[in-house]
Each structure stands twice: as structure tokens, then as C-alpha cells.
Chain A
Amino acid sequence: MFDLIGVPPQALFGQLLLGLINGSFYALLSLGLAVIFGLLNIINFAHGAQYMLGAFAAYLLLNNPLYSIGYWPALILAPLIVGGLGMLLERNLISQLNVRSKTRPLIFIASFVAIFLALAASHLSSGAVPDLVSLVGYKLDPAAAYGIAAIGALLFTSFLSATNLLNAPDADQNTDHLYGLLLTFGLAIIIQGLFVNQYGSSGLPYTIPDELRGGQNLGFMFLPIYRGWVIVASLVVCIATWLIIEKTKLGAYLRAATENPTLLSAFGVNVPRLVTFTYGFGVALAGLAGVLAAPIYSVNPNMGADLIIVVFAVVVIGGMGSILGAIVTGFMLGIVEGLTKVFYPEAASVVIFVIMAIVLLIKPAGLFGRTA
């Protein structure tokens, strides 16, 4: 049979496996994006950076001078850390985009100052701005510079949330998608830049845990255990997420808030908290994907930026905000990409975008999208 299509089975199954692995990451990442887009109506451009943060969290949990934490605890801890950072980001910056009040320009200026502080502090440390360095009188070491930047950002954003409490939030929220996109895009660049600055862009190794080393000969192909584990883990997490959203009370709140947040709050539900939690959850999924990816790809500050463009294409094909669409399309496109590598390798890197163009022409809402 394989002779008929002129492809050796080893190559076919090898690429199929690779496709499934990529598909596992596409599915996890596009699922997080879909959850976030559905409720917050923002395109989370920081998703790639948050995936990278997940990998770095695992790396730093293992390689730190205080207490080394291995792969299995990191699988839980790293998503919690990255998700927690995501919740802080949502609470202090993203949610501010929805507040149409007199303090809004103030919020923008203050966020700008916080970001400027972060940049200035890192510049000071690397000596890129000699005048400022001489002004301060001495050169900060990197740790102190990041510390100052972090404290500055924290102070300002806390100030923001404090001032927000003084304003009644506007119930008729219809923020332009563009604001969220620009904010998260800018943050992604800053986070990535800071990590390149600190760790370089050549990538750091993260070894496969002992339990998942080696491989299994399946007869028709050789399956490295870790890769099999990634596929299973991704499938389980995706299905569990889908079940939570479709079958539980919490999921019902989430779906209701996606449709009509105003009415849900008129029932007494704390919608802003639900939004923060949901953003944290979507980001935690990206963090989890980062941990899963760490032993396969090296831990690299640019790992998210490389992947995220394809993931956005996956989200568009699946349908913006569609949970099932994100999961199915993620795995499907991974496989399509793998198969393309077998039959027409030259097209492998563009096939997803070609499919995206076709889907947009025929069904603009995406394969699983609700027509707005």
C-alpha cells in the first residue's frame, strides 16, 4: 500500500508523529487564546511570550541556587506562576482598557512610565545610556536594575488599580480589539527583549525526566516516550478544559459571561473576577505548553515568537473564540503540516496559511465559528 503512494512508511509515520507533536502545542496554545478571546474579546499577543515564560519557569525552577525543583512539580508550578503573572497583568493593565473614565489617559501615561522605568533600568545596567549612568554615579548590576524596574512597574500598576476603585466601571463596555492587541503585543516584545538580554538567544538545555526517557518500537515506527507523553498530556488537558467549559457550573458562567457579561453581573456574579481568572487560566495553558516543550525544543527566549504566528492562523481557521474549534483545528493542522512535509516538503511552512486564506474566503467565521 505504501509502495502505491511511493513513500516509505517510516518517513510517513515519522512525519505524522512530528505533526501530532506540533499539533499538541497548536491545540494547547490556540485553546488558551480561544478561551481568552471568547471572554475578554482581546487577541492576546503576549501568548507566545507566556509560553516561553512557562519553559523558562521550568528551567529556573530546576537551575537556581536555592532549591532545585524537577520536571513533575514544575508541570504544576510553572503554569501556576505564569498564570498568576497573567492574572496580575489582566487586573492591572488589560482590565483598565475597558474603563472609559477620566482616569483612562492617566492610566496610559502611568503604564508608559512603568514600562519606561523597566527599560531605563535595563539600559542603565548594560551601560547603553552613558549619560544616565554617570548621572546616577555608579553602574547598577543587572539584578538591581530588574528589581528597580519590577518595583516601579508594581507601584504604578497598583496605583492604577487603586484609582480604578474610585470609578464606577462603565457597564457598556465595547473596547476596540486594537487596544488589547497593542498592549499585549508591546508587553510580549518587552518580555522577550528582557529574556534575550539576560539569557541570550542560543537556547538552554532542559533534560527529559528519567521516567520518560527512551522509546518504544511500535513495529512500523519508533516512538520516543517523551513525545508520546506530550501528545497524551495535551489531549487530556484539552478534553478536560472542554468538559469544564461545556459541562460545569463554572463553564456555564464562562459561556454566559462571553455572551452577555452585563446581565450576568446583574445576577450577582463577580464578572471582573471571572475575567481575571479566565485570563489566568488561558495563560496557564500557555505556560503548561512551555513546560511540555522545554525538553523537546531548547528553552529559548524566541521560542514563543516563532510559534505564535502559526497558532494565530490555527485560531482563525478554527473560528475565533471557539473552544472545540481550537482543539480540533490544532491537532488537524499539525497533522496536515506533517503530511505536507512527506508529500511536498517545500509547501510545509506555508500550508497552514494557505488553508487560512481558503477558510477566510469560504467561511470567514472559521470552521467552528459562530457567525456574528
Chain B
Amino acid sequence: MPERGLPERGLAEARAIRQASAPVLAVSGLEAWYGESHVLHGISFDLRPGEVVTLLGRNGAGKTTTLRAIMGLLAKRQGSVIFDGAETIALPSRTIARLGMGYVPEERGIFASLSVEENFMLPPVVKPGGLAVERIYDMFPNLRERRKSQGTKLSGGEQQMLAIARILRTGARTLLLDEPTEGLAPVIVQQIGRTIRELKKDGFNIVLVEQNFHFAATVADRHFVVEQGKVVDMIPNADLEANKTKLHSYLGV
């Protein structure tokens, strides 16, 4: 068994940066359960202002569960999630959303009984400073064209865009994106990559769950490696090339 503890260098660096600027989101020792099964065993990572970080890992490592736990969607969870200086571990999901956290679930969650426009306008505005409707339509012109269609009649890529678009309206500045590129054509993946970079430029803080680290490398600042419900490593994007072998062994690719 190879030793896979958090490397000293990563820890020290993380501490230094944490002191420099308070993180928007600080997750530490997060544990969560699905019914009786213990899925997260102490997830720790942080997201600094204006940053895009990814959670990388194999299927079943606990990446999606981490986002769900942060969002308050799992009944049994413990540890600490500090968002904008407030402890949210015991708060209900709707309160966490109201603090300015936007969630794009893995299954996209487009409502079949709502039109594209209704889906788009559905999430309530939680804070001032959301993007203007027209600007979002300019980012995703397909959605404007198809706004009268039924939500689930859209293609997979369009549904993904809709799932992201509807969150940008609400004024949430911290986004949790769960595998936004999963199963999409390369040209759509590129468009989503452009969108994420544009949002980053706008000052959004983004946690991205990915399996595709080639895509992750094009948008993220830092990568946290999740394995068996724990964060086992942190790799700054600049060091990704140097750590390629290690990453391959983590992801099993």
C-alpha cells in the first residue's frame, strides 16, 4: 500500500494562503451518511475568493456527496462547513441557498413540467448582484431560442446550460457544479469551459466536481483529490504537469 497522506508541503502552503485571505468556503472534517452507510470520512478543503477549485476522484469517491452535504441535502452530516464566515453544518438547505450558495446537481435537475423559461426563472433571487437575464441569454443563446419548449425536451448540453444559467440569476456568488461536462460533446464541453472562465473573471467562486482532469486543468486554480470519502491531496494547477503520474494513480486512468 503506497502512503497517501496529505503531503507536508501542501499543508503548509494551504495554511499560509489561508492566513493571507479568508476562504469563502472552508470545509473541515466533513462526514456524511446515506442512511446507515458512512460515505464521507472527513473531507477538508477550502475555496478562496475568486477561485475555481475542483474535487477530483474516481467514481464513488464521495465527490457528489460532498457537494450534497455542503448544500445541506443530507440529513446526517457532521464536521464543519464555514461559508462566508457562518457555520452552516446544521442549517437546512434553503437557508444555505439564501446565504448565496448556488447548486447545479449532477443530474441537472431540469423540471419536466416547467418550460425552459420557467425553469430559468424558478430559483428565487437570494442576493442582489445576480447576472441580468439578457446577459445570461447572451451567454447561452440556445436557451433564448428555445425558452418556450418543455424543459426536458432540450438536449443534454442545453439542459446543462440551463442548470447553470438559472443559478446565475439568483445573486449566488459561490457555485457548486457537479460534473457539468459529463456525457457532453467536445464542442459543448468547450463552451462550458468558456462559461466557467468568464464567471471566474466576474469574481464567482466555484467548486467543480470533475472526473475529466484534462478539462479541470483548463479552468481550475487548485485540485483536491478525493479518495474513499477523504481529501488525500491538493495539487495547484501549475504543478499538475509535474504530478501527472501521481494523479494517474489516484484516478486510475
Instruction: For the complex, give the distance between the alpha carbons of A172 and B90 in Å.
Output: 16
Report if A169 contacts B (CB, 8 A).
yes
For A253, list chain B residues within 8 Å (CB).
Answer: 122
1/0 per residue A59-74: CB within 8 Å of B?
0000000000000000
- In the complex, which residue of chain B has the Cβ closest to the Cβ of A257? B111
Choose among A171, A252, A269, A271 the residue that contacts B75 (Cβ–Cβ < 8 A).
A171
CB distance from B78 to the nearest CB of A (A): 11
Helix, strand, loop or mixed for chain B's interface?
Answer: loop
B121 touches A249 (CB 8 A): yes
Q: Interface size (A, Cβ < 8 Å)? A: 24
Main secondary structure of the interface of A (DSSP, over half): helix
Residues of chain B lying within 8 A (CB to CB) of residue A161: none
A268 & B73 in contact (Cβ 8 Å cutoff)? no
Contact with A along B69-90 (1 / 0, CB 8 A): 0011111000000000000001
Q: Mark B98-118, 1 if CB is under 8 A from A, else 0.
A: 100001010001011110001
* Bound CA span A269–B96, Å: 11
Check A265–B113 contact: CB distance below 8 A: no
Q: Please, which residue of chain A has its CB at the minimum distance from the CB of B103?
A: A266
Output the least CB separation between B213 and chain A (Å): 27
A253 CA / B103 CA spacing, docked (Å): 17
* Separation of A91 and B103 alpha carbons in the complex (Å): 28
Residues of the A chain whose Cβ atoms lie less than 8 Å from the Cβ of B113: 255-256, 258-259
Interface size on B, residues (CB 8 A): 27
A168 cross-chain contacts in B, Cβ below 8 A = 75, 90, 92
Q: With a CB–CB cut-off of 8 A, which chain B residues contact A171? A: 72-75, 93
Contact between A269 and B74 (Cβ–Cβ < 8 Å)? no
Give per-residue flags for A260-272: 1 if the beta carbon is below 8 A from chain B beta carbons, else 0.
Answer: 1011111111110
B72, B93, B98, B122: which has the most chain A beta carbons within 10 Å? B93
Closest B-chain residue to A273, C-beta based? B94
Among B73, B112, B124, which residue has its beta carbon within 8 angstroms of that of A259?
A: B112
Q: Give chain B nearest CB distance to A250 CB in angstroms.
A: 11
* A–B complex contacts, Cβ < 8 Å, 8 sampled: A168-B75, A171-B73, A256-B122, A267-B170, A268-B97, A268-B123, A268-B124, A268-B170
Task: List chain B positions with a Cβ less than 8 A from chain A.
Answer: 71-75, 90, 92-98, 103, 105, 109, 111-114, 118, 121-124, 126, 170
Besides the known contacts A100-B75, A255-B114, A267-B170, 5 further A-B residue pairs in the complex with CB atoms under 8 A apart? A171-B72, A172-B75, A253-B122, A258-B113, A266-B103
A-B CB proximity, top 8 nearest: A268-B97, A267-B123, A170-B75, A255-B113, A263-B109, A265-B93, A265-B94, A268-B98
